[in-house]
Amino acid sequence: MIELHDIRYVRLGTRDLAAADEYAQKILGLEVARTEAGTSYYRSDDRDHTLVYFAGDPQNHVVGFELRTADELDHAASHLSNAGIDVHAGSAEECERRHVKAFVNFRDPSGNSIDLVARPHHSGRRYFPSRDAGITGFSHVGLCTTNAVRDEKFWTEILGARVSDRIGDAPLLRIDEVHHKVALFPALKPGVQHINHQVETVDDVMRAWYLLKRNGVRVVFGPGRHPTSGAIFLYFEGPDGMVYEYSTGVRHITAGAEPFYQPRQFPRINSSFCMWGSEPDIAEFRT
Q: For the chain, how many helices (H) and strands (E)?
A: 6, 17
At position 11, the amino acid (one-letter code) is R
Query: What does the angle CA 221 – CA 223 – CA 224 come to, to the nearest 5 degrees?
Result: 90
What is residue 203's three-state secondary structure? helix
Q: Tell me which H or E stretch contains 223.
A: strand 219-225
Q: Give residues with Cβ within 8 angstroms of 241, minimum separation 6.
A: 58
Instruction: Please tell me if the domain spanning 6-120 has the same topology as the one spanning 135-273.
Output: yes
Phi, psi for 52 (deg, rounded to 5): -125, 130
pLDDT of residue 155: 98
Q: Which of 209, 200, 277 is CA-nearest to residue 244?
A: 209
**Fold of the CATH domain 6-120:** 2,3-Dihydroxybiphenyl 1,2-Dioxygenase; domain 1 (3.10.180)
CA 269 vs. chain centroid, Å, equals 23
Query: What's the rounded Cα separation, in Å, for the pair 20 and 199?
Result: 21
Tell me: the pLDDT tens digits for 258-283? 889 999 999 999 999 999 999 999 99
At position 238, the amino acid (one-letter code) is G
pLDDT of residue 37: 86
Tell me: the pLDDT tens digits for 107-136? 999 999 999 999 999 999 999 999 999 999
Q: Assess contact for 68 and 5: CB atoms under 8 A.
A: yes
Query: What's the rounded Cα separation, in Å, for the pair 194 and 207?
Result: 20
What is residue 44's three-state secondary structure? coil
Q: Assess contact for 207 and 222: CB atoms under 8 A.
A: no
Q: Exposure of 203 by Cβ count < 10 A (0-12 exposed, 13-18 middle, 19+ buried)? A: exposed
Q: Assess contact for 238 and 27: CB atoms under 8 A.
A: yes
Q: Which residues of the chain have pLDDT under 70?
A: none
Question: What is the domain partition of the chain in residue ranges?
Answer: 6-120, 135-273
Number of neighbouring beta carbons within 10 Å of residue 126: 8
DSSP line for 64-132: EEEES-HHHHHHHHHHHHHTT---EEPPHHHHHHHTEEEEEEEE-TT--EEEEEEEE-B-SS----SS-
Q: Tell me which H or E stretch contains 248.
A: strand 243-248
Query: Could you say which architecture CATH assigns to the domain 135-273?
Result: Roll (3.10)
